[in-house]
Amino acid sequence: MSQNPRNQPLMGVIWMLLTGLNFVAVTALVKYMGGRIPPAEMAFLRYLLGLVFLLPMLGAVRRARVSARMWGLFATRGVVHSAGVILWFYAMTQIPLAEVTAMNYLSPVYVTLGAALFLGERLALRRVGAIVAALVGAMIILRPGFREVSPGHIAMLFTALAFGASYLLAKFTVDGTNPTVVVAMLSIWVTLGLAPFALMDWVTPTLGEIGILFAVACFATAGHFSMTLAFAAAPLTVTQPVTFLQLVWATALGALVFAEPVDIWVVSGGGLILAAVSFITWREAVLKRRAITPPEVATKV
């Protein structure tokens, strides 16, 4: 008897573990680069160098018939995602790795709210409770009134919002064309969207910095690929909780490599946010409805 391709929980967990390691490598490399190169330029070079991975998709892109409405959606998503990427690169230079990772968990919560507002999804009481719990988690991380909320924290709040909006826009584009085209168009439009901001404050990168940013593009692409394999191997209810390990790894890496103190409030708040997201995902599976809320890693750069 052949095994159901979505009934391989061990493989799903393994692929999601690799996904987490890839994305933690992305954040670590960006953190390592520091602030010499402006965030917009770093983001632009990451996407520009990553265009090499679009070569296998060119055939599908050339064959695609894209309507004027779809071009508008692609462009709008590119602008929104570009803003999120710039803010994320900026936040990486301002706040610890663990805080960036924990606050990025908010993206699926924003998607849940957006799905109710714009896609007509019913927001049941349990989901409202999960959203409230996630927002409490964010307040635990930020602790306004007890410490300074830096521009990096504000940037991450809007980063999660931008990535959530990008995912919602993707829902409209996937229904109208080939998913491969959607992925390719995002990379192209984000590269174009970042270019003017990069050129406004251009700092000539060294060969070493270009190499690091190409590595960022490689790890990000590998992360998205392994994430796709995880989704194909097991349900979200199996793979979703594994994403918490990204916070553990980011915290350990920040402490060991970048001398960032371990903040129990950040770990606790991030855990509460992820627990809320996992609950929403589990409820979707129980109700046998098509999941609207993506895992945290689906909104990565």
Q: How many angstroms separate the CA atoms of 187 and 147, rounded?
A: 37
C-beta atoms surrounding 231 within 10 Å:
19
Per-residue confidence (pLDDT) for residue 194, from 0 to 100: 96
3 domain residue, yes or no: no
The pLDDT of residue 269 is: 93
Residue 143, sorted as left (phi over 0), alpha (psi -120 to 50) or beta, turns out to be left
Closest to 181 in 3D by CA, of 170, 191, 192: 170
Report yes or no on 13 lying in a domain: yes
pLDDT of residue 108: 83
Enclosing domain of residue 131: 9-299
| pLDDT of amino acid 13 | 85
How many domains are contained in the chain? Answer: 1
Residues 187 and 21: their CA atoms lie apart, in Å, by 22
Do residues 149 and 138 lie in contact, with contact meaning Cβ atoms separated by under 8 Å?
no
**Interatomic CA distance for residues 43 and 86, integer angstroms:** 6
Output the pLDDT for position 287. 63
The reply to whether 212 falls in a domain is yes
In a domain, 270, yes or no: yes
Tokens describing residue 156: 């991450």
From first to last of its 301 residues, what are the pLDDT tens digits of the chain?
A: 445 555 677 888 898 899 989 999 999 999 999 889 999 999 999 999 999 998 888 888 888 788 888 899 999 999 999 999 999 999 998 999 999 999 988 888 888 888 888 777 777 788 888 889 988 999 999 988 778 889 999 999 999 999 989 988 887 776 667 778 888 888 999 999 999 999 999 999 999 999 999 999 999 989 888 887 887 787 766 777 788 888 888 999 999 999 999 899 999 999 998 888 888 777 666 665 554 555 555 556 7
C-alpha span between 215 and 138 (Å, rounded): 31
Q: Is residue 1 part of a domain?
A: no
- What is the 3 state secondary structure string of the chain? CCCCCCCCHHHHHHHHHHHHHHHHHHHHHHHHHCCCCCHHHHHHHHHHHHHHHHHHHHHHHHHCCCCHHHHHHHHHHHHHHHHHHHHHHHHHCCCCHHHHHHHHCCHHHHHHHHHHHHCCCCCCHHHHHHHHHHHHHHHHHHCECCECCCHHHHHHHHHHHHHHHHHHHHHHHHCCCCHHHHHHHHHHHHHHHHHHHHHHCCCCCCHHHHHHHHHHHHHHHHHHHHHHHHHHHCCHHHHHHHHHHHHHHHHHHHHHHCCCCCCHHHHHHHHHHHHHHHHHHHHHHHCCCCCCCCCHHHHCC
